[in-house]
Amino acid sequence: MEQINYFSAFLIGLAGGVHCVGMCGGIVSALRMVTPKDKPALPFTLAYNIGRIISYTLAGAITGALGKMASDFVPVASYALSILSAVMVFLLACYLGKWWTGLTALESVGKHLFRYIQPVSKRFLPFKTPFSAIPYGFIWGWLPCGLVYSTLTWSLAAGSAIQGAGIMLCFGLGTLPTLLAVSTGSQYIIQGFKHSAVRQCIAVAMALYAAYLIYGALS
Average pLDDT, the chain: 82
Q: What is the CA radius of gyration of the chain?
A: 17
* Res 192: pLDDT: 65
Phi-psi region of 193 (alpha: psi -120 to 50; beta: other; left: phi over 0): alpha
* Res 23: pLDDT: 61
* Res 47: pLDDT: 92
* 175-206 confidence digits (pLDDT tens): 888 878 776 665 566 666 667 787 788 889 88
Instruction: Say which amino acid occupies 195.
Output: H
Check whether 207 has a pLDDT greater than 70.
yes
Separation of alpha carbons 171 and 72, rounded Å: 26
Averaged pLDDT, 7-13: 85
Report which DSSP code applies to 13: H
Tell me the C-alpha to C-alpha distance, in Å, between residue 206 and each of 110, 156, 203. Answer: 24, 19, 5
* 85-113 confidence digits (pLDDT tens): 888 888 888 887 888 877 777 777 777 77
Percent of the chain with pLDDT strictly greater than 90: 19
Check whether 163 has a pLDDT greater than 70.
yes
**pTM: predicted TM-score of the whole model, two decimal places:** 0.85
Check whether 154 has a pLDDT greater than 90.
no
Check whether 35 has a pLDDT greater than 90.
no
- At 1, the pLDDT band (50, 70, 90 cuts) reads very low
Contact 121, 129 (CB under 8 A): no
* Res 164: pLDDT: 93
Contact 213, 19 (CB under 8 A): no
* 114-152 confidence digits (pLDDT tens): 788 888 888 888 888 889 899 999 998 888 887 888 888
- At 80, the pLDDT band (50, 70, 90 cuts) reads confident
Q: List alpha helices for 98-195, DSSP H.
A: 104-117, 130-140, 146-156, 161-184, 187-194
